[in-house]
A = this chain, B = another copy of it.
Amino acid sequence: MRRLKAIVQYDGTHFNGYQIQDEGRTVQQQIDRALRKIHKDDSIISVASGRTDTGVHALGQVIHFDTPLTIPDERWCIAMNTLLPNDVRIISVEEVASDFHARYDATGKTYLYKWERTPIQSPFHRNYAVHIGYHYPDVDKMRQAAKHFVGTHDFTSFCSTKTATTNRVRTIRKLSIEEFGDELHMTIEGDGFLYNMVRTIAGMLLAVGRGQYDPDSIIEILAAKNRKKAAETAPSQGLYLVEVHYDE
A-side residues, CB < 8 A to B, are 9-11, 57, 77, 81, 86-91, 120-124, 126, 128
Bound Cα distance from A10 to B81, whole angstroms:
29
Question: With contacts A9-B123, A86-B121, A89-B121 known, what are 14 further pairs, Cβ within 8 A?
Answer: A9-B122, A9-B124, A10-B123, A11-B123, A11-B126, A57-B124, A81-B120, A86-B123, A86-B126, A87-B126, A89-B122, A89-B123, A90-B120, A124-B128
Closest 6 CB pairs of A and B: A11-B123, A86-B126, A87-B123, A89-B123, A89-B120, A9-B123
Bound Cα distance from A90 to B123, whole angstroms:
10
Contacts of A88 in B (CB 8 A): 123
Q: Select which of B11, B57, B81, B120 is within 8 A of A91 by beta carbon.
A: B120
**In the complex, what's the smallest C-beta–C-beta distance from A18 to chain B, in angstroms?**
14
Bound Cα distance from A89 to B120, whole angstroms:
8
Q: Are A124 and B11 in contact (CB under 8 A)?
A: yes
Bound Cα distance from A61 to B216, whole angstroms:
47
Contacts of A124 in B (CB 8 A): 9, 11, 57, 128
Bound Cα distance from A57 to B124, whole angstroms:
9
Contacts of A89 in B (CB 8 A): 120-123
Bound Cα distance from A1 to B154, whole angstroms:
63
Bound Cα distance from A36 to B25, whole angstroms:
36
Bound Cα distance from A11 to B128, whole angstroms:
13
Q: Which residue of B lies closest to A58 (CB)?
A: B123
**In the complex, what's the smallest C-beta–C-beta distance from A182 to chain B, in angstroms?**
14
Contacts of A81 in B (CB 8 A): 120
Bound Cα distance from A9 to B120, whole angstroms:
10
Q: Which residue of B lies closest to A9 (CB)?
A: B123
